Structures are given as C-alpha cells and as structure tokens.
C-alpha cells in the first residue's frame, strides 16, 4: 500500500514538473495525516493511514532526486494561514483538520508547538466517550470515533439503514444540503461531537482563533452555530 501511493505521488510530481518546464522545482513538501519523527523523518503515528514507520522522504527523494519534507496536515494548515492567510498577527490559534480522523495543529505565543518528538496536538485521540468504539490507535472512545467524517457516516447508516458501500462523506454533505433528514441529523450529530472536544481545547489552550479544515466546511453555514 505505501509503495502504490508513492508511485502515484511520483507520477503527480512528474506531471507538475512537465507542466512547468521553465520553473525550477527545488523540493517537495508532503502533508500527512499523522505525526512525523523529528529525528528520522519517518511516520511516527498515523493510525488511519496504517503505513507504519514508512520512510516517505527517502522513497520520494529516490524517485525525484529532490529534497523532501513531510509534516502533519494540521500543522501545515497553521503554517499556511500564518504565512499567506488569516493568521497574520495572531499569536495563539488551533487548526482542526476533520477527515477520516481528527488532527490538530497548535500555534502558541507565535510558535508552532511540536512537543516531544513532534507528537503535540493529538486531541483526536483524547477520550471523550468511555467505554466507546475502538479507535484506530487501539484505545476506546477517542474524539475522532464520534466526530470524524467516518463517525458521521456511521451515524447516517444507523439512521438510514441500508446504505450503498459507495456512499461517501461528500454524498452525505450533498444530501444534507438537499435537506434529507437522516443526512441533516448525521451532520448535526458530528457538529455536536466536535463541540464536545472543542470545549477541552478552548479551556486548555485559550486560542484567539480556531480554524476548521476539510470537506466539513461546506456545511458551515448550516451547523456552525452548534459550536458557538
């Protein structure tokens, strides 16, 4: 599985290089849904990816001849907004990346917080519902087991009954925008569960700004009041 994905990444990088022949590509940056070992550059914790300590920089570097950096997706959201977006002048912020799991990036005192060995910010794996469902990390009742996209789909299937295996979170969003009651209820459930964990983040870190990223933002006009 990792090697197949690396092959696809290399093909995508080649397409970018071929499309911009007059530009010098100086390096490759890769966003990952997990934490990176600061000493080895390998994946240290990515339970939803299930690649183990795969050496992504080595594999991509060998295929491109370019230097490669990898970083947690939520951390990169914080950095991108700090450099190019809405966080100019903001010293304390949290980014919450909502996808198959939940990842968080922390800006405190103007600095990105990595913690010991890059593991800071794993709020998706704090227990909010014990005993709850088994999480990909091996524990029960983690925040992402009730508030991730997968959790919303699980709630939708519980309400709807028989659902095609091809039904995705984006289909859920479309159905909610069409006011289909089970889809609306499933997204409302997800936002309520996001609010549960957000209370802990606000109490512990007191950020000035909280950023949310992921497909969920398309439902923001309808449900964001739950987080207020």
- Each of the 228 residues of the chain gets a pLDDT tens digit; together they read 788 999 999 999 999 999 988 888 899 999 999 999 888 888 888 998 888 888 999 999 999 999 999 999 999 999 999 999 889 899 999 999 999 999 999 999 999 998 888 889 999 999 999 889 999 999 999 999 999 999 999 999 999 998 999 999 999 999 999 999 999 999 999 999 999 999 999 999 999 999 999 999 999 998 989 987
Q: For residue 39, what pLDDT is reported?
A: 83
E runs forming strands in 73-120: 93-98, 102-108, 111-112
The half-sphere exposure of 200 on its side-chain side, counting CA atoms within 13 A, is: 14
pTM: 0.90
50 alpha carbon, distance to own chain's centre = 15
Spacing of C-alpha 114 from chain mean position = 16
d(CA 110, CA 128): 29
Maximum CA extent, the chain: 57
d(CA 223, CA 1): 36
Beta bridge partners of 212: 96
d(CA 149, CA 73): 16
């Amino acid at each position: 599985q990792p090697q197949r994905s690396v092959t696809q990444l290399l093909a995508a990088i080649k397409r970018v290089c071929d499309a911009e022949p007059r530009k010098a590509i100086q390096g490759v940056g890769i966003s990952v849904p997990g934490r990176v070992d600061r000493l080895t550059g390998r994946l240290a914790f990515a339970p939803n990816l299930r690649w183990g300590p795969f050496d992504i920089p080595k594999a991509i570097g060998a295929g491109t001849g370019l230097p490669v950096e990898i970083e947690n997706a939520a951390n990169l959201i914080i950095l991108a907004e700090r450099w190019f977006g809405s966080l100019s002048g903001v010293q304390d912020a949290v980014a919450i990346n909502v996808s198959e799991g939940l990842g968080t990036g922390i800006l405190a005192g103007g600095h990105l917080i990595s913690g010991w060995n890059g593991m800071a910010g794993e709020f998706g794996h704090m227990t909010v519902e014990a005993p709850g469902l088994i999480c990909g990390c091996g524990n029960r009742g983690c925040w992402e087991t009730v508030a991730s996209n997968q959790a919303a789909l699980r709630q939708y299937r519980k309400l709807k009954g028989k659902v095609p295996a091809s039904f995705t979170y984006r289909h859920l969003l479309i159905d909610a925008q069409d006011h289909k009651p089970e889809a609306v209820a499933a997204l409302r459930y997800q936002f309520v569960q996001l609010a549960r964990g957000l209370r802990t983040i606000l109490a512990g870190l007191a950020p000035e700004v909280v950023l949310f990223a992921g497909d969920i933002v398309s439902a923001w006009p309808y449900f964001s009041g739950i987080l207020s």
